[in-house]
A and B are shown apart, each in its own frame.
Chain A
Amino acid sequence: MIAALLMAVVVGNETPLADPKLEARAEALMREVRCVVCENEPVSQSTADIAVDMRRTIRNQVSQGKSDAEVRSFFADRYGQFVLFRPPTEGWGILLWAFPFLLLVGVGGAIAVRLFRSRHRDLKPLTDDGTGDLAD
């Protein structure tokens, strides 16, 4: 029903918000919301009419003082989490956000421990004559 309501809005001019800070926030959000017609595009890029309406909705909500999280959940509630290119930062989603850094620290730490444990203090730098013969 909401979709139909959104569609009914006449497609016309898309006026950027007067406040550049709000507009920047709105534009950032537009890049995070998937167009429900052209599924591989965010609404910021889609030329579909519904994307125009979704952009307008985002601008309206931002200008009404809604937070980014509120705008995101507005769309997620209606179209599912699929509509947001940003995965959720709660529940299992936290693991998704954290795993690259956990992996980096875990593997990096293990390597570092191994290298520093077997460290020999008496190693000398290999002399490099500056031509880079050893250095490519």
Chain B
Amino acid sequence: MIAELGHLLAFLALATAVSQSYLGLTTGGEAPRRLAVATGLFTIAAFVTLIISFIRLDFSVALVAHNSHSLKPLIYRIAGAWGNHEGSMLLWCVIMAAYGAAGALFMKNDRLRDRALGVQGLLTVASLVYLLFVSSPFERLANPPLDGGGMNPLLQDPAVAAHPPFLYTGYVGMSFVFSIAAAGLINGQIDREWARRVRPWALTAWSALSIGITLGAIWAYYELGWGGWWFWDPVENASFMPWLVGAALIHSLVVTEKRGGMAAWTVFLAVLTFCLSLLGTFLVRSGVLTSVHAFAVNPARGTVLLFGLAAAGGAALALYAWRAPKLMAGQEFDPVSREGALILNNLFLSVGAALVLVGTVTPMFAQALNISLSIGEPYFQLTFAPMMAFLFVVMPLAQASPWRKAELAPLLKQFWVAAVVAVIAAGLAMYLEGNFAPWLALGVLVGAWVIAGVITDMARRVGSGGFGRLFKLPLAVWGMAIAHIGVGLFAIGATVETTARSEQTFPMRVGETVQAYNWTFKFDGVSDGEGPNYFTSTADIVATHDGITETLHPEKRFYPVAQQSTTEASITRTSVGHVYVVLGDTIREQPGVWRLRIAHHPLMDWVFGGAGLVALGGFIALGARLRRRAPVKNQAAEPEGPAPAPAGAAGAPA
């Protein structure tokens, strides 16, 4: 009965979402608000029923039968609920409806909220219709199998189990930003107040998206066995495009909120971000790509998604074209100013997103036209990376420049120490690398410049106030500084890792010893074992470095249900990076010889740590935004709902 209950709940959610959108866009008031909460609760309940089916291994539910197995550990049975197309579409609906419910609970009661809930209702209706009629997770099987088909074993991993909920909180969360943008356009009111109210939602979604993308990269790094964390694969690009435009959005929102400027552009970005989320979903799910995300492919799904994208994008653009000419211009500013710097930020991030878009879809068109073409890592490294390097140069200057007008010479003068630090760091990196490596130097130069520059700016803000004043700086400043330092660490880590990583393969017999990267590895053989739903061959490797001895256990797992093997890399840290060991295959012609791949990934923690700080900075900025609103409410200026909640209620991890 539980699957039927889920099905019914999803239909109830559809009914409340229909009413929510109609009443939100017409009369407004209490009714759409309550309906939005109901839509949220119904979809969450429907999702819970699906999870219960997965936990109980109800193989009469087709989705469970195809994607689970009795031997699978509990946590992956639960994660199995979204580790497939239908379940993840239900998660999509849940997050979309939850954002609507959170908006209903925490936004001030006015026309903007009503219409935002109305538009969010429309998006939720479209998603639920897609779910129920093209990809229902509640289908039953007439002849349930005795056991399930199992999940792709590559997905049996904690990072990738948590990846979709975060990614969707980001990606789908942009739907509510879209809705508030559409509501503002309908009302003809895109102003400072509008920007102030969009910002927490944009920050929530964007920060969650940052975490989701990072988790995906971490998973690729240790689970796929080749030690790469980003390959400019179309699937990665699909989530990176909304991230880039979202990053532009949270910066242009600042200009609109503080100075009333760039309103038309800001609202355009707010619409565009979600359109790119939809485009990404289309690319990943329609089957135009082959990847671990493509699941079972059905052409109808792609067509419907494309139609949805065209409808949402087209309607929003029509609204935009109607209202944009009437949007206000904002206060005057000199090109050399905080406003000007943030325009540069938006220019680079948008052109960067356009670059990623063209680089991602061109090979698909080429394939359709029978032209043999690939666009991959070398292209993006040579075009995207230098573009971002230039953006990073402006970053600390933007932080320190005043609004309206900046005097360039005194501004630059403050940063001479940071410039010297950056040059020294770049020189040091080249010295350590041992030869002239221009890309390495450039990456370290801008990364160190960002970090030193942000510290310079923080010191400027503290002034002569002493150390204590550092902690009295507003949370928003801290959020910005932490995110920007994360960017600097990431820039250094990513360039050093990509230019200086190296890997060697050794064929080894039991008892043999090899030297690599100042480590000594002794291969003590491979023992066979069994996990809950897999067989494993685990190697025993004694690694010695500077008198420290460690035992490493890289594994090869074989999942009999899926008839698929995975590798589990064994990673150990040094002060400068990761030593990464993968157990390869035995060699056919030489029995008893295993292939061992040993790689060195310098500054790997800087890459993931930097990305983590970017997300953390986003959440701190969100916290600042929520905290600042509270006192305003206490002064009875605005009858707004209880402040510190949208993040939690929207399912975002705070």
Contact = CB atoms under 8 A, between A and B. Distances in A.
B621 A136 contact: yes
B378 A86 contact: yes
B477 A135 contact: yes
Contact of A86 (B347, B351, B376, B472): B376
B383 A100 contact: yes
Interface in A82-136: 82-88, 96-97, 99-101, 103-104, 107-108, 111-112, 115-116, 119-120, 123-128, 130-136
B519 interface: no
Contact of A128 (B254, B402, B502): B402
A81 B405 CA distance: 50
Contacts of A12: 507, 587, 589-590
Contact of A82 (B372, B383, B587): B372
Contact of B405 (A32, A111, A123): A123
Interface stretch (B129-137, B170-178, B354-362): B354-362
A125 B404 contact: yes
A37 to B, nearest CB: 13
A55 to B, nearest CB: 9
A128 to B, nearest CB: 5
Contacts of A81: 371-374
Given A45-B226, A136-B479, A123 B460 contact: no
A101 B383 CA distance: 8
Contacts of B193: none
B507 to A, nearest CB: 5
B473 A132 contact: yes
B298 interface: no
A10 interface: yes
Range, interface on chain A: 35 or more
B291 interface: yes
B406 interface: yes
Contacts of A101: 383
Contacts of A27: 502
A14 B225 CA distance: 18
A25 interface: no
Range, interface on chain B: 35 or more
Given A32-B377, A45-B228, A115 B335 contact: yes
Nearest to B367: A82
B477 A134 contact: no
A65 B504 CA distance: 22
Contact of B233 (A40, A86, A128): A40
B404 A126 contact: yes
B573 interface: no
A130 B460 contact: yes
Contact of A136 (B233, B378, B624): B624
Main SS at interface, chain A: loop
A34 interface: yes
Interface string B316-338: 00000000000000001111011
A33 B463 CA distance: 53
Given A85-B379, A136-B474, A103 B354 contact: yes
Given A47-B584, A81-B372, A85-B377, A39 B290 contact: yes
Interface in A44-84: 44-47, 80-84
A74 to B, nearest CB: 15
A124 B358 CA distance: 41
B589 A10 contact: yes
A104 B405 contact: no
Contacts of A14: 505
Nearest to B628: A136
Interface string B117-131: 000000000000000
Contacts of B358: 96, 99-100
Contact of B258 (A13, A96, A134): A134
A16 B334 contact: no
Interface in B539-591: 584-585, 587-590
A127 B374 contact: no
A82 B373 contact: yes
B642 to A, nearest CB: 22
B407 interface: yes
B504 A16 contact: yes
A84 B291 contact: no
Interface string B474-498: 1011011000000000000000000
B375 A87 contact: yes
B592 to A, nearest CB: 14
A11 B586 CA distance: 11
A97 B379 contact: yes
Contact of B375 (A39, A85, A126): A85
A11 B589 contact: yes
A131 B473 contact: yes
Contacts of A131: 461, 472-474, 477
A21 B403 CA distance: 50
A40 B291 contact: yes
B523 interface: no
A118 B376 CA distance: 42
Interface string B451-477: 000000000111101000000111011
**A-B residue pairs, 8 tightest by C-beta:** A85-B376, A136-B476, A45-B226, A80-B372, A86-B378, A125-B402, A132-B477, A115-B335
Given A42-B376, A108-B347, 11 more contacts: A14-B505, A40-B231, A40-B291, A87-B379, A107-B347, A128-B403, A130-B460, A131-B472, A134-B258, A135-B338, A136-B254
18 contacts: A14-B505, A27-B502, A32-B376, A34-B376, A42-B376, A42-B377, A81-B374, A96-B379, A100-B355, A100-B387, A119-B335, A125-B402, A125-B404, A125-B406, A126-B402, A127-B402, A132-B476, A136-B480
